[in-house]
Amino acid sequence: MLATLVPLFYEDMSVASYCLYAQKENMFEHPHLLGAGKYDGAGSIVGIEVFDSINEDVLEDGCNIIIPINNISLFSNIEQQLSGFDNRVVLLVDQSIKPEESYNKRLLDLKSKGFKLAVKDLPVANIESYKSMLDDFDLFLINSDSGDVVEQAKQFRKLMPNMVFCAENLHNKEEFEAAKESGLFKIFEGTFFRVPINTQDTEVTPIKINYLKLMKVINQPDFDLEDVSNVIGQDPALSIELLKIANRLTINSNIRSIQQATALLGQKEIRRWLNTTLFNSLAAGKPNEITRLSLVRARFAENLAKVFDYAMRKDELFLMGLFSLLNLILDMPMEEALEQVGVSNEIKKALINDEGVFSPQLDFLLSYEAGDWQEVSRLMVLHDIEMHEVYDSYVEALKWYSTMFKETT
């Protein structure tokens, strides 16, 4: 099984929902899935297990969970499969669910039990036939790939004056800004939030400059632990966190000094901890999803190192994932951003030019988190990767992020 969580945003870039994208089998090994066979075994909701890996605190307060369903899974035991989410589930129906009595009756039953309803990809020409059903829906997704979302929304608004609209598949900031300024949309989805803003203002605040300098030091092949401990000692927040971590790693010992703590952790753990901690500080003021995505991507890349035959370079792959959105964090071109933190040439080649030995794994990460299962399936066959290795690596990355989230709040 393959599964990923795709964020949907409010206009202030807080997360409104996470949509589950899942695939039961490898499409290239089971080509019937590209046709009607995609509904095989659809009586159960594929990928729902991924939520077992996430602490409730990781899902932003009040955000919904969107679960795609079809005409088969609609009549499954949805209530049992999705229990425990406290009225946060939005069932996203596709066009296999027709405006017919049996479907409408089942949808109304689910609505009465606290589920919200959403629909996507309905053409304007079909709206009239769906209108009686849509009166009970909470969200309508409009796909930018079907044409200008603003123009589509204007037409849909005439027919559904009270519906909440989501602009879907927004590929750049210009599309997002146009959709936002129209006032027709409450929710937004797409890769637009990963696209850097074109700006000449690349000034970095003094405290971030200090953090970048420290990151550049620790990302050298060899560095002096005493120099690093002296820098950490000048920052109360870093000092407290370092002592907490060091004391958790010791038995019947009470570490009292920064020097003791850095010596205990050693170069490898200090590098890992500082890169992650300082990255979070650099990301302050940015959409929370950029931080979450960077950290999950970092751990996911590290976990996949073995299956891509780079087990000995997993620390580099962690940094590649962690810094893969650094240009957004620092509001500067990726080449300049990476110069600030001092990473290996192979990381630079992958993140700047999509070249080098790490490029295939980066492409895999991006395809996976976008739910592009056809491309993911192709790459798994090409690199002889088992599906369970990928899914287990992603789930572990979510668990790791959940644990880290709990420890830092």
Give pLDDT, residue 49: 77
Give pLDDT, residue 41: 44
C-alpha distance across the termini of the chain, in Å: 32
Q: Is the pLDDT of residue 295 over 80?
A: yes
Give pLDDT, residue 58: 55
Contact 363, 355 (CB under 8 A): no
310 backbone dihedrals φ, ψ, rounded to 5°: -130, 40
**More confident site: 187 or 260:** 187
Taking all residues of the chain, what is their mean pLDDT, rounded to a whole number?
A: 84
Name 189's bridge partners: 8
pLDDT > 70 fraction of the chain, expressed in percent and rounded: 86
Band (pLDDT 50/70/90 cuts) for residue 258 is: confident
8 backbone dihedrals φ, ψ, rounded to 5°: -120, 145
Average pLDDT (265-290) is 83
What does the alpha-carbon distance between residue 387 and residue 24 come to, in Å, rounded to a whole number? 9
Q: What token pair was written down for 39?
A: 């509904």
Give pLDDT, residue 199: 47
Average pLDDT (94-107) is 90
Q: Is the pLDDT of residue 326 over 70?
A: yes
Give pLDDT, residue 301: 96
Give pLDDT, residue 296: 92
pLDDT digits (tens, 9 = 90+) for 146-179: 999 999 999 999 989 999 999 999 999 899 999 9
Average pLDDT (129-141) is 89
Amino acid at 351: L
Band (pLDDT 50/70/90 cuts) for residue 409 is: very low
Q: Is the pLDDT of residue 355 over 90?
A: yes
Give pLDDT, residue 27: 59
pLDDT digits (tens, 9 = 90+) for 31-80: 555 554 444 444 567 677 777 666 555 566 668 999 999 888 899 888 88
Give pLDDT, residue 144: 94
Band (pLDDT 50/70/90 cuts) for residue 206 is: low
pTM for the full model?
0.81
Average pLDDT (367-393) is 92
